[in-house]
Structure 1
């Protein structure tokens, strides 16, 4: 080591004086930087500067851990603008009432769960009346909800004679039963379309509820807004009369003649409507709005509680995590009623299918359709994106039945079907009795 040091010293001394000065200066500077530690002044009496930022309540969720997933903020205020017309009018008694006709495979749980009703309420209903486990095809359920989305009342029309009602009480539901005492009488009402079908039907003697039932029965065959002056209609209603007053009614059959062509809808024992040959009138739907199924990043939850505000912030649809630019498809035949950019929803499309169903598609990158355009099941309507109030590329998809949001993954979808076997035979026998009553003269 000493030998090395002497060799370095000898080499250094043999250097010209300017070189020795420069090399020595660099050595001192290097050592100074290596051992120097800066002194930072931290006055204890000085408080840190803090800036308070008040966020609107609707922005608070963006700070939550769940915001790292593609999950929507509440968007209902931005998209509750589906165009309405007189065909959507409801009677005062119908506002807030949801109706459902029992079909094949239905149970009390499967029916109510798709509308987001809590399983606890469903269990309490079943405890109040075990017969609710034996629903039959064609029976009708109707219910109302509280402002918080809890079940308030359920009505079960077992038959045209017997109705059971279940009202919420402390600790569960209380059942009451009523037997109808009136006589059921068939009545035929007919007329000619004037300024509008609704006005003409009421003038012919149909109530608002009966007009609505006719529109729903014919929704897949006829756009009632496009009926022309001079088109004819004939409606067969079965009405319960008690002491000369009408208590309730049920549509049996309807016939519409537009541009010289006749359209029929006749009720079968299952509560659904078919044409004269027993073929189904409903148009089938796809379950998913994409060509293949993608991961669900946020489920339907109409009673979701915001952990920060403590308020109910409903998630009225399902979020699918999918790459931007994925083709979005119409799930069924219908008419585009909205195609625009709309605040938190970003670019979004709404399609009306008949008069009962509406679907909504949000946060789209590009729209491929325009309002008023007719689409078929499987048509491309948009490309998915990340527009609006969104924290990641995804598609928010909603399905509404009778202006009520339902779970798109479990909702009972309309299917193109028809009657077969003995059911069709019985139906055709009924058709022979109904059609002669639907005359225009």
Structure 2
């Protein structure tokens, strides 16, 4: 039996998922919600002030937002909610127009640990951004069937049901028309869709996405299926938690850090391995009159809750899970533990998370990998090591992680957001 929840939160998540097919859309949508809550965008190249209120910085597919309470001192600690905006998918190559034998196709590169077979025979749109001659960017979101990666018919691969093997270079190239491919055709099409001149488009970051909308499943609509839950569920929950904390009376400075490029290692100027979060935190201290001493004290007293999806126990593959740890969909957020620091959770983090869930009245579960299976990782250990901030790794339990379409309990997004809010308001 799943926990009771406010379905309006999950309905809102469904809209957020549909409207955020790329990291750039995700941060734009989160920023729009923050602006409605009174936060204002600040320019990284401008001077910052230390006045109370909410602020956020956008850089590509990353967003850092924070709220300075009245009376905050230079050494006031931070409470950070960490997440990431990117998801495994198919991304368009620099020379996109390709094809053969009467088919027009688009050349793609595999981004992250994609579950390749889930992209077969699925109607796909295109999204991302175009970089223009004048230095500006334009977001692209074509949310209608445009592409398709067709699977080979069973008559031509009689052993397919005994084991499907996909070559990333040869088998994952989507079709998008008939005829002979022509150089520049994709960019001409996208420019026309955006009301631009193709000659003004000098660069692009484009990706495919499933156009099938999120949906409730199950007899009692107790399940939620949708794209990019890993990890836009956490971004959505953290945005809601930050705005709720800003409306309360936080004793710390609540922060949302939504990074890009987690799925391929976080090593970029917008990834957790980069300097973006540290720079924002340091500048926040400086804007309130602090120096090295105050900054060091603030970080020493800070805490980070790194939120990413985790594995719910799979009823068809229970042997792949630890026999004593079976997180279930609808059972509330999971505490993720790995003693080899693939997750950053230690005893103190467990206590902080358990206390937050207790204050919120939220059930929670523990997750640890089967010893015989390699363990994934998150931004948690990176954030802890890079900034010296105590960190705990949590998330929501899902099935079909890294699929084009994932599955969770419909109550879990709401429960995760409530736990996050309580974490920000200890």
Task: Give the TM-score of the pair, scaled to structure 2.
Answer: 0.24
Specify which structure has the higher proportion of helix. Answer: 2
Task: Give the TM-score of the pair, scaled to structure 1.
Answer: 0.23
